[in-house]
Amino acid sequence: MLKSRAAVAWEAGKPLEIEDVTVAAPKEGEVLVRIVATGVCHTDAYTLSGADPEGIFPAILGHEGGGVVEDVGPGVTSVAVGDHVIPLYTPECGKCKFCLSGKTNLCQAIRATQGKGLMPDGTTRFSVNGKGVFHYMGTSTFSEYTVLPEIALAKINKAAPLEKVCLLGCGVTTGMGAVKNTAKVEPGSTVAIFGLGGIGLSAIIGSVMAKAERIIGIDINPDKFEIARQLGATDVVNPKDHDRPIQEVLVEMTDGGVDYSFECIGNVDVMRSALECCHKGWGESVIIGVAGAGEEIRTRPFQLVTGRVWRGSAFGGVKGRSELPEYVERYLNGAFELDTFITHTMGLNDINRAFDLMHEGKSIRSVILY
Ligand code: NAD
Ligand code: DAO
Ligand code: ZN
Ligand code: ZN
């Protein structure tokens, strides 16, 4: 047992509260990790808002972390004390039907308990004054110490600065991976990216790497345009500047539509626009944004009959244990940068400000430094 400072979400829609949380020792196949830094992603805000059907309270949110292994439970062989790790909300057991399929990164080995805020044995390692507190996405990086299953840790190069590569635990990998693994954007493509937060900007970086010729960034907050251009957007569009559906504007701008589009917001109306701005016959749209509980997407089926394709992407299709360490290497080799994303850093005590900055559209990523 040890004490850890953590930001606890006691109830949906309420600010997080900083608590001294008791963290139980890692059990069989589990690992105790000291989180050094964590980003705050829109998905944390989504769950805190109460819109997440899997949202469960009280919980310790956070899923974009970087840390150091402090202790290992019995049977753990793939990481050791002192290793640097990135927690994975999409684990990789390497043995389940999903892992063995070669078709998906959605390992299901611990899915049932993870979705209920519990460790694989059906219990929690967190408590406050004897009251159990749920895990979140299997990661709970808003606690200085957290416990994860071994299969939910990517071991990374110790040379990588954890306060930056924590962003590879979600946002940056998700956007880049969706372009590379899900859409498989080819050189010369025209791409539209809806929503220029951490995910959309990473999709811009991925599109530049894929040598897309035209990269159109779309956002209703024009403050996002400068950074989008800096990262490689060739055009920026604000739907508020147009009095007709944005898909019509994009189809006109691109001689019939884009080759690929990415929805990085979680808005079902925008998902429709993202599909319908795709080129007849071959355009593909990838949904990355997470919509609220009970929401549904709509389009005319003829949009698909005439060759447009609708897909989705989780964690950029990246298999965390086998592929994420390579993303860290590529960062260390200068293939992409992360500083532009980190608009704010703060201590855990100020974590609610990170949520405010996100809602006010003033941040790309706030990184919490423990
Ligand atoms: P963010 O809040 O930083 O960025 C969202 C952007 O969308 C903002 O710039 C905002 O101005 C813009 N926006 C909002 N409404 C808009 C509209 N109607 N038209 C155009 N732009 C609009 O969020 P983020 O952290 O980048 O996350 C984006 C989405 O991706 C969220 O839904 C999040 O839950 C989801 N997400 C999905 C995965 C996955 O694996 N699929 C991973 C991480 C995040
Ligand atoms: O395997 O059924 C499943 C769920 C996998 C969870 C993947 C979540 C991806 C989207 C959530 C946003 C991540 C921050
Ligand atoms: Zn995230
Ligand atoms: Zn698996």
Residue 153 and residue 262 share a domain: no
Task: Kindly state the tokens that stand for 79.
Answer: 């990481």
CB 69 within 8 A of CB 79: yes
Domain presence at residue 328: no
Q: State whether 242 and 156 are in the same domain.
A: no
What is the 28 CA–ligand 4 centroid distance (Å)?
A: 18
Q: Are residues 6 and 90 in the same domain?
A: yes
Q: Is residue 152 part of a domain?
A: yes
* Domain identity same for 61 and 143: yes
Output the six-digit token pair for 34.
Answer: 């000291």
Task: Tell whether 153 and 15 lie within a shared domain.
Answer: yes
Residues in the ligand 2 pocket, defined by CB under 6 Å = 41, 43, 63, 90, 106, 108, 111, 170, 290, 314-315
| Average confidence (pLDDT) over 320-346 | 98
Would you say residue 321 lies in a domain?
no
Atom nearest to 137 CA in ligand 2: 6
Calculate how far, in angstroms, residue 290's C-alpha sits from the geometric centre of ligand 1. 8
335: left (phi over 0), alpha (psi -120 to 50) or beta: alpha
Element (H, E) at 35: strand 30-39
Total number of domains constituting the chain: 2
Is ipTM beyond 0.90?
Answer: yes
pLDDT of residue 44: 98
> Tens digits of per-residue pLDDT, 119-178?
999 999 999 999 999 999 999 999 999 999 999 999 999 999 999 999 999 999 999 999
Bridge partner list, 67? 35, 85
On whether both 86 and 182 belong to a single domain, the answer is: no
Instruction: Report the interhelical angle of 42-49 vs 351-359 (nearest 10°).
Output: 90
State the DSSP code for 59: B
Tokens standing for 343?
A: 């608009």
pLDDT bucket at 202, cuts 50 / 70 / 90: very high
Q: What is the pLDDT of residues 57-71, one digit of tens each?
A: 999 999 999 999 999
| Predicted local distance difference test score (pLDDT) of residue 126 | 98
Look over the chain and give the mean of its residue pLDDT values, rounded to a whole number.
98
Q: How far is the CA of 22 from the centre of ligand 2 (A)?
A: 27
For ligand 2, atom 8, the nearest C-alpha belongs to: 314
Distance CA 135, CA 125 (A): 8
Instruction: Based on the fold, state whether residues 141 and 120 are members of the same structural domain.
Output: yes
Band (pLDDT 50/70/90 cuts) for residue 217 is very high
Is residue 330 included in any domain, yes or no?
A: no
Give the CATH number, domain containing residue 151.
3.90.180.10
In a domain, 327, yes or no: no
Residues 269 and 155 in one domain: no
Distances (CA, A) of 361 to 20, 42, 117, 230: 31, 11, 29, 18
266: left (phi over 0), alpha (psi -120 to 50) or beta: left
18 contacts: CB under 8 Å, gap ≥ 6:
5, 6, 7, 8, 348, 349, 351
Whether 331 is covered by a domain: the verdict is no
Cα end-to-end span (Å), the chain: 19
**Residue pLDDT, tens place only, 163-180:** 999 999 999 999 999 999
- Ligand 1: list residues with CB < 6 Å: 41-43, 46, 170-171, 174, 194-200, 218-221, 224, 239, 264-267, 270, 288-290, 313-315, 358, 361
Q: What residues are labeled active site?
A: 41-43, 63-64, 93, 96, 99, 107, 111, 170, 365
Its domain, for residue 107, covers 2-169+338-369
Which residue's alpha carbon is at the smallest distance from atom 3 of ligand 1? 197
Q: Is residue 323 assigned to a domain?
A: no
Residue recorded with tokens 């024009």? 222
Do 280 and 224 share a structural domain?
A: yes
Q: Does one domain contain both 84 and 8?
A: yes
- Which CATH number do you get for residue 288? 3.40.50.720
Q: Is the domain of 186 the same as that of 274? A: yes
Q: In what helix (H) or strand (E) does residue 113 lie, and over which residues does it extend?
A: helix 111-114
DSSP 8-state class, residue 26: P
DSSP symbol at 24: P
316-328 pLDDT, tens digit per residue, is 999 999 999 999 9
Share of the chain above pLDDT 90, in %: 99
CA of 4 to the centre of ligand 1 (A): 30
For ligand 2, atom 13, name the residue with the nearest CA: 43
pLDDT band at 100 (very low <50, low <70, confident <90, very high): very high
The 10s digit of each residue's pLDDT in 228-258 is: 999 999 999 999 999 999 999 999 999 999 9
Tens digit of pLDDT for each residue in 279-326?
A: 999 999 999 999 999 999 999 999 999 999 999 999 999 999 999 999
Q: Which residue has the least CA distance to atom 21 on ligand 1?
A: 219
The first and second tokens of residue 98, run together, are 């999903």
In a domain, 326, yes or no: no
Asked if residue 200 and residue 151 are part of one domain, the reply reads no
Beta pairing class for 284-287 and 64-72: unpaired
Tokens 């819109």 correspond to 51
Mean pLDDT of all residues in 47-55: 93
* pTM for the model: 0.97
Q: At 2, is the pLDDT very low, low, confident or very high (cuts 50, 70, 90)? A: very high
In angstroms, what CA-CA distances link 68 with 13, 20, 60? 31, 20, 19
